[in-house]
């Protein structure tokens, strides 16, 4: 090394999928258990001993402020022309914010952003930086989607320094970088897509966004066992993290807020992929409910609440005699351990055992349920399938099931019941704590306190 070998470049190993860092190489990441995901990351001696952190030396000039003395400008939010995208962003795009949009390849990230940017370009200065598609491809797509893209500015480039230089000339108000894994910085020698490149490129873009007030969207591919660093290694650096959910085969695309410095998390935006791009779905309950005209065993309607909106979804269960010594417990859209726990509660407090049965539970439409209010629906769907008896067609349920067999109340019961009534449901089984104070018109509410009462019904 230049300094007589005393100050060597420090190296550590960083996991490509979760970003955890280790002093030694290993075949498997002990944080996220991904195999072969650790890559060497060199910290240049200059950086380790000052460099970017040279500010420490000038710390005398750092200023401490009283909170009250901080001048609050009005947080400038611009609507994005899509109510569903605004919802997940927490009410619109914030000036100078950095939004990371992650998702599997081909799920619709570029489509969503080109649509949004083209519509915004009518009133704002926009810049679409693409490291994946040629300007011709982008233009063709915009034409096919019939977007008002005349004023949309394009930049095919993958070097962050050049992108920022171009952006400084163009002064865009909104900028898209598609995708962060194709970008590289001249400061580092590692290949584009490696953890260090992706992080450094993001750091520079974040810095640019804060300095210039440009709102920046970063596209990040979620990779399976891949050679690219996943977007998770960037989550802590950006203001807002959105992930695409949903099955590749399904027409619907859900966008969930994972992190938001300017709004609520877990907010869900619902879109449908059509031949004219992504169309927003403003009444998602209606689509997740498209089911058979007749009541069938194993199907229950749950009122869940994702973010700030109640949502009606169908929970299906199939209980079937198992040929295996260890019967299967399979869940799609729900947590598997939760199912095992619920079946144990059912056995212990309800006397109904399913230890010789395979149990499959699915949430229709590719929605992932993250709250415990689904417990009661899962139990009732499984029971209905086991006994081969359909539940009432106009019935909705929600409620958490405790380990002692009690049915616990969940937040926002009123709002859930109102959503059910709005969609024409006639009966609701809910925890006692969620019983409304007044009668609800057209909706019979049955309040239950424990598992025994549920079994009676």
Contacting ligand TYD (CB under 6 A), which of 106, 135, 353, 442?
Answer: 106
Contacting ligand TYD (CB under 6 A), which of 88, 107, 152, 155?
Answer: 107
Encoded tokens for 362: 């699915």
Distance (Å) of CA 18 to CA 28, 39, 218, 222, 260: 12, 12, 18, 11, 19
CA distance 204 to 206: 5
Residue 232, Cα to own-chain centre: how many angstroms? 11
Number of residues that bind ligand TYD (CB under 6 A): 14
Looking at the Cβ atoms of 246 and 277, the one nearer to ligand TYD is: 277
Report which residue's Cβ sits closest to Mg ion: 110
Looking at the Cβ atoms of 155 and 346, the one nearer to ligand TYD is: 155
Footprint on residues 152-211 left by ligand TYD (CB under 6 A) = none
Beta carbons of 252 and 366 less than 8 angstroms apart: yes
Looking at the Cβ atoms of 80 and 110, the one nearer to Mg ion is: 110
Distance (Å) of CA 368 to CA 17, 229, 253: 21, 24, 12
Beta carbons of 392 and 284 less than 8 angstroms apart: no
Beta carbons of 305 and 371 less than 8 angstroms apart: yes
The 8-class DSSP code of residue 353 comes to -
Q: Work out what residue 107 binds among Mg ion, ligand TYD, none; the CB cut-off runs from 5 to 8 Å by kind.
A: ligand TYD
> One symbol per residue from 256 to 285: x for binding ligand TYD (CB under 6 A), - otherwise; what is it?
-----------------x-xxx--------
Distance (Å) of CA 435 to CA 55, 355, 377, 380, 443: 58, 34, 17, 19, 12
Comparing CA positions, the residue from 111, 139, 90, 120 lying closest to residue 241 is 90
CA distance 131 to 114: 14
Q: Residue 258 Cβ, how far from ligand TYD at the closest point, in Å?
A: 17
Distance (Å) of CA 26 to CA 35, 199, 308: 9, 21, 42
Contacting Mg ion (CB under 5 A), which of 97, 110, 212, 260?
Answer: 110
Q: Residue 275 Cβ, how far from ligand TYD at the closest point, in Å?
A: 5
Looking at the Cβ atoms of 108 and 310, the one nearer to ligand TYD is: 108
Q: Residue 114 Cβ, how far from ligand TYD at the closest point, in Å?
A: 8
Beta bridge pairs of residue 427: 395, 444
- Evaluate the CA torsion angle 186, 237, 153, 142 in order and state its sign: positive
Beta strands in 44-111 (DSSP E): 77-78, 93-94, 98-103
> One symbol per residue from 52 to 91: x for binding ligand TYD (CB under 6 A), - otherwise; what is it?
----------------------------------------
Encoded tokens for 326: 């260890």
Footprint on residues 392-431 left by ligand TYD (CB under 6 A) = none
Looking at the Cβ atoms of 181 and 374, the one nearer to ligand TYD is: 181
C-alpha dihedral over 409, 415, 421, 425, to 10 degrees? -40
Q: Residue 178 Cβ, how far from ligand TYD at the closest point, in Å?
A: 7
Give the binding range for ligand TYD (CB under 6 A) out of 106-114, 151-159, 262-270, 380-388: 106-114
Looking at the Cβ atoms of 124 and 273, the one nearer to ligand TYD is: 273
Footprint on residues 116-135 left by Mg ion (CB under 5 A) = none
Q: Residue 226 Cβ, how far from ligand TYD at the closest point, in Å?
A: 14
User: Phi and psi for 370 in degrees, rounded to 5?
Assistant: -110, 0
Q: Kindly state the helix (H) or strand (E) to which residue 209 belongs, with its residue range.
A: helix 195-212
> One symbol per residue from 111 to 150: x for binding ligand TYD (CB under 6 A), - otherwise; what is it?
x-----------------------------x---x-----
Contacting ligand TYD (CB under 6 A), which of 110, 173, 212, 316?
Answer: 110
> Could you say whether residue 103 binds ligand TYD (CB under 6 A)?
yes
Look at strands 38-43 and 21-22 and give their pairing.
Answer: unpaired
> Could you say whether residue 182 binds Mg ion (CB under 5 A)?
no
Beta carbons of 55 and 38 less than 8 angstroms apart: no
> Could you say whether residue 212 binds ligand TYD (CB under 6 A)?
no
Looking at the Cβ atoms of 110 and 304, the one nearer to Mg ion is: 110
Looking at the Cβ atoms of 111 and 308, the one nearer to ligand TYD is: 111
Residue ranges binding Mg ion (CB under 5 A): 110
- Interacting residues toward ligand TYD by CB under 6 A: 103, 105-111, 141, 145, 273, 275-277
């Amino acid at each position: 090394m230049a300094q007589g070998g005393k100050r060597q470049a420090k190296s550590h190993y960083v996991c490509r999928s979760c970003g955890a860092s280790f002093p030694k190489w290993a075949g498997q990441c002990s944080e996220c258990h991904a195999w072969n995901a650790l890559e060497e990351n060199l910290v240049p001696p200059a950086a380790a001993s000052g460099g970017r952190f040279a500010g420490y030396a000038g710390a005398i000039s750092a200023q401490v402020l009283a909170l009250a003395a901080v001048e609050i400008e009005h947080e400038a939010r611009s609507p994005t022309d899509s109510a569903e995208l605004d919802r997940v962003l927490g009410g619109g795009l914030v000036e100078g914010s950095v939004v990371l949009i992650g998702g599997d390849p081909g799920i619709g990230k570029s489509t969503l952003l080109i649509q949004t940017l083209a519509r915004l370009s009518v009133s704002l200065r926009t810049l679409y930086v693409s490291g994946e598609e040629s300007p011709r491809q982008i233009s063709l797509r915009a034409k096919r989607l019939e977007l008002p893209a005349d004023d949309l500015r394009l930049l095919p480039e993958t070097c962050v320094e050049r992108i920022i230089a171009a952006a400084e000339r163009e002064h865009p108000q909104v900028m898209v970088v598609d995708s962060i894994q194709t970008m590289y910085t001249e400061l580092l020698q590692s290949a584009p897509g490696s953890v260090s490149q992706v992080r450094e490129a993001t750091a520079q873009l974040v810095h640019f966004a804060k300095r210039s007030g440009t709102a920046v969207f970063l596209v990040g591919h979620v990779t399976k066992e891949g050679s690219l660093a996943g977007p998770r290694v960037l989550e802590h650096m950006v203001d807002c993290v959105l992930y695409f959910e949903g099955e590749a085969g399904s027409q619907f695309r859900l966008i969930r807020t994972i992190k938001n410095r300017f709004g609520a998390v877990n907010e869900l935006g619902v879109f449908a992929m059509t031949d004219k791009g992504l169309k927003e779905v403003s009444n998602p309950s209606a689509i997740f409910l498209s089911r058979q005209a007749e009541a069938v065993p194993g199907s229950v309607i749950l009122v869940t609440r994702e973010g700030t909106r109640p949502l009606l979804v169908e929970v299906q269960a199939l209980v079937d005699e198992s040929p295996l010594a260890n019967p299967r417990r399979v869940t799609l859209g729900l947590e598997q351990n939760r199912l095992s726990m619920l079946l144990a509660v059912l056995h212990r407090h309800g006397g109904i055992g399913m230890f010789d049965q395979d149990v499959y539970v699915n949430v229709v439409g590719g929605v992932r349920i993250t709250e415990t209010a689904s417990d009661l629906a899962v139990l009732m769907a499984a029971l209905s399938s086991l006994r081969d008896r359909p539940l009432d067609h106009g019935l909705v349920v929600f409620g958490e099931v405790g380990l002692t067999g009690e049915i616990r109340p969940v937040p926002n019961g009123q709002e859930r019941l109102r959503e059910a009534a709005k969609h024409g449901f006639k009966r609701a089984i809910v925890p006692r704590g969620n019983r409304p104070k007044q009668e609800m018109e057209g909706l019979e509410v049955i309040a239950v306190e424990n598992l025994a009462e549920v079994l009676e019904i």
